[in-house]
Chain A
Amino acid sequence: MTLDRKPTVIARTVTRLVVPMILVTAIALLLQGHNLPGGGFIAGVLTVTAFALVYIIYGLDYLETELLDRTPAVRYETESGIVREYGRVFASGLAVAAGSGVAAMVLGYPFLTQAVAFLEHLPVYGELEVASALVFDLGVYAVVVGALLTILAEVGAE
């Protein structure tokens, strides 16, 4: 990315404000996904838009230099630095999603069978719904985040 034209102060400030909001919304969508609109996929896509905003406004290296406090790896090399970590997120998400299905089989139910439990009389929170579908959603979330960020970082670098 050539830096002869920096994004305006407005863009940078708005990004700083909006990114946390996007992430919170994404998490909300992820948590309610099993019985309300939302889910792992859309939460993942939303999370990636937050990252995309940071990439566009602050540049490709910002994440690594400022947030992770390290020197970014050399580009144009296959799977360097952060891209490798995105790949790891992708793989572990896939493992979690597949594992959540296999777990049901271990308990003697068909693949991907889900269950739900309600925790009542919790302090402060009251009633809490714990759905096993959330684990699958979490896996999907990681797959989407990992895959899309890999594409963004790789294609963005070119």
Chain B
Amino acid sequence: MSADLAVSTTHVVIAPMLVALVTAVATLATRRHDRLQRALSLLGVGAYAVGVAVLADRVLSGGTLTYQLSAWPAPFGISLVADALAAFMLSLAALVTVALLVFSVVYVDEQGQRVSYHPLFHFMLLGVSGSFLTGDVFNLFVWFEVMLMPSYVFVAFYSGPRHTAAALQYTVLNLFGSALMLVSIGGLYATTGTLNMADIARRLAAPAEFGIDPAPVLGLSTILLVVFALKAGIVPFHFWVPPAYRAAPAPVSAFLAGVTKKVGIYAIVRLYFTVFAAGAVEGGLGLPALSGESFLAFFGPVLFAMALASMLVGGVGAVSRDALDDVFAYSSISQVGFIVLPLAVVATVSDPALRTLGVVAALVYSLNHAVAKSLLFLVSGTVYDATGTIEFERLGGLTTRFPVLSGSFFVGSLALVGIPPLSGFFGKLLVLDTGGRALAAGTPGAGLALAGALAGAIFTIAYLSRTWSQGFWGEVTPLVEHGSQSSVLVGVVAALALVVVAVGIGFDPVYSFAESAARAALDTDAYVDAVDPGVVARE
């Protein structure tokens, strides 16, 4: 009886995924009943948020929870692992998704909602939740696919020539990425003999015992990094971002920028800082300018270069765009650079406190970007809904006609710039703090990281103030004059703006949540112990 009880309490691990799956099926089955479908969809996302909250609470108070699907023991069955990191990412997704779905119900036209909008949205959420929770690399691939397939449809949602072109590029690129991912996962299985992440970490820590050569694992994990960088839109794999974000409906662009990108970031943290961090190539990497034997000694500089390039390419790109969505799309390339930069800096340091700080910085910045960028994309959607355009040429004087909307945009952009007391301030502060401490500890490249972050911050100020002055200030254009706003859309936008403020003011619990997430991410041993893949060998 006690075994049964133990099982039933951990059902909460799978709750977010099941809720999303059941909602997707329910909304699919009620496609011909518009109101019922929308009610179910909203109910589903509410239940999702509750499920995530319960799970996060359980994880934070009781430690990592694991769940073996089909009751097959690890490493043979598929493990779900809900640790603080997964709980943090799920909370981020839930927070943003609730706002996005309420927005969608009003924003997306009747016909659009009838054509599978809601089931697809919930399938996308299911893929995201699965990616955060799974403890199996092949299963991670599956959830990536579940997440991507609806997004292909969403990019092509309006099916104009521009949307179709963007969708084609997006689909082909991601299929290529998926193929790469599958090949490298196959290679990982061939070299390490397992797909379970905890088992990979366990085997990499003692390669001789399991007869593993770490060198090919390093190569294969590099290919995987390309895939994750592609999903996260990090330079040089960023070029699909602007057309896709421009083509998708505004709430979906917000989801892609706010949540889907974070799945790429999560995968980088989970795999490279939890799993592959256990690996080391004996006798050094044998590459010029790279010292150290650990895998992270190699990935640190690689991530560093990509992060710097992202901040600058995204920043330069955003300054010269002439429509809201384009600015925001380039801005997210640049902001992802800010997320990856602290990870890159701490990958090469050995001080555990500094490494934790770097991961905390990346997580807090992810949360800030998720909320603030979703807010900005929703502002863009609301502006389009009210005026029929998002191009600067035909916008102007939004502040006089739509003060609440403009105020929310203002809050969101200040959060991206990093003005206290908004959420972005702490994100930027932690990133700069990581750079500063690494500099004090004498980490090579830390000075460059600080300079890059400052340059990136200046670009952020430049493109957002340009957007403000061109779109929101100035003469009231005819389109703006005759536009009318939907109070629900503005309400959602204003609520997100309040969240940005609330996260900044009540930052303490957010920080401690992020800190336990970072500790969970860096504690490979605890992760392996929780999943316990060696159970069969011991018996």
Contacts and interface: CB of A to CB of B under 8 A. Distances in A.
Nearest to A136: B70
A58 interface: no
Nearest to A112: B70
Interface residues of B, number: 19
A82 interface: no
Contact of A98 (B4, B22, B31): B22
Given A78-B115, A108-B7, A113 B25 contact: no
Given A78-B115, A91-B29, A94-B28, A111 B69 contact: yes
Nearest to A92: B29
A108 B8 contact: yes
Contacts of A98: 18, 21-22, 25
Nearest to B4: A108
Contacts of A108: 4, 7-8
A93 to B, nearest CB: 10
B437 interface: no
A95 interface: yes
Interface string A87-121: 10011101100100010110011111110000000
Given A98-B22, A102-B18, A108-B7, A113 B29 contact: no
The prevalent SS among residues of A at the interface is helix
A105 B7 CA distance: 9
Interface string B1-39: 000100110010010001001101100110100000000
Given A98-B22, A105-B11, A110 B29 contact: no
B535 interface: no
A92 B28 CA distance: 9
Contacts of A114: 70
Contacts of A87: 31
B121 interface: no
B68 interface: yes
A92 B30 CA distance: 11
Contact of A112 (B22, B29, B31, B69): B69
B71 A109 contact: yes
B28 A91 contact: yes
Contact of A113 (B21, B22, B71): B71
* Chain A interface bracket (under 10, 10 to 19, 20 to 34, 35 or more): 10 to 19
A105 B22 CA distance: 14
B25 A111 contact: no
Nearest to B11: A105
Contact of A111 (B4, B18, B24, B28): B18
Contacts of B115: 78
Interface in B91-110: none
Given A78-B115, A102-B18, A105-B11, A110 B68 contact: yes
Contact of A94 (B25, B31, B67): B25
Contacts of A110: 7, 11, 14, 67-71
Contacts of A95: 25, 29
Nearest to B30: A91
A55 B71 CA distance: 43
B8 A111 contact: no
Nearest to A105: B11
B14 A111 contact: yes
A87 B25 CA distance: 12
Contacts of B28: 90-91, 94
Contacts of A104: 70
Contacts of A105: 11
B8 A113 contact: no
Contacts of B24: 94
A131 to B, nearest CB: 13
Interface in B295-352: none
A114 to B, nearest CB: 6
Contacts of A113: 70-71
Contacts of A92: 29
A95 B69 CA distance: 18
B32 to A, nearest CB: 9
A32 B71 CA distance: 22
B404 to A, nearest CB: 37
A114 B14 CA distance: 17
A92 B25 CA distance: 8
Interface in A57-102: 78, 87, 90-92, 94-95, 98, 102
A124 to B, nearest CB: 33
A90 B22 CA distance: 14
A95 B11 CA distance: 19
Interface in B27-63: 28-29, 31
A90 B4 CA distance: 34
A18 B71 CA distance: 41
B34 to A, nearest CB: 14
B111 to A, nearest CB: 9
Contacts of A102: 18, 22
A109 B29 contact: no
Contacts of B31: 87
Nearest to B111: A78
29 contacts: A78-B115, A87-B31, A90-B28, A91-B25, A91-B29, A94-B24, A94-B25, A94-B28, A98-B18, A98-B21, A98-B22, A98-B25, A102-B18, A104-B70, A105-B11, A108-B4, A108-B8, A109-B71, A110-B7, A110-B11, A110-B68, A110-B69, A111-B11, A111-B14, A111-B18, A111-B67, A113-B70, A113-B71, A114-B70
Given A110-B71, A112-B69, 6 more contacts: A94-B28, A98-B18, A102-B22, A108-B7, A110-B69, A113-B71
Interface of B: 4, 7-8, 11, 14, 18, 21-22, 24-25, 28-29, 31, 67-71, 115
A-B interface, 6 closest residue pairs, ranked by CB to CB distance from nearest: A91-B28, A112-B70, A113-B71, A110-B71, A91-B29, A108-B4
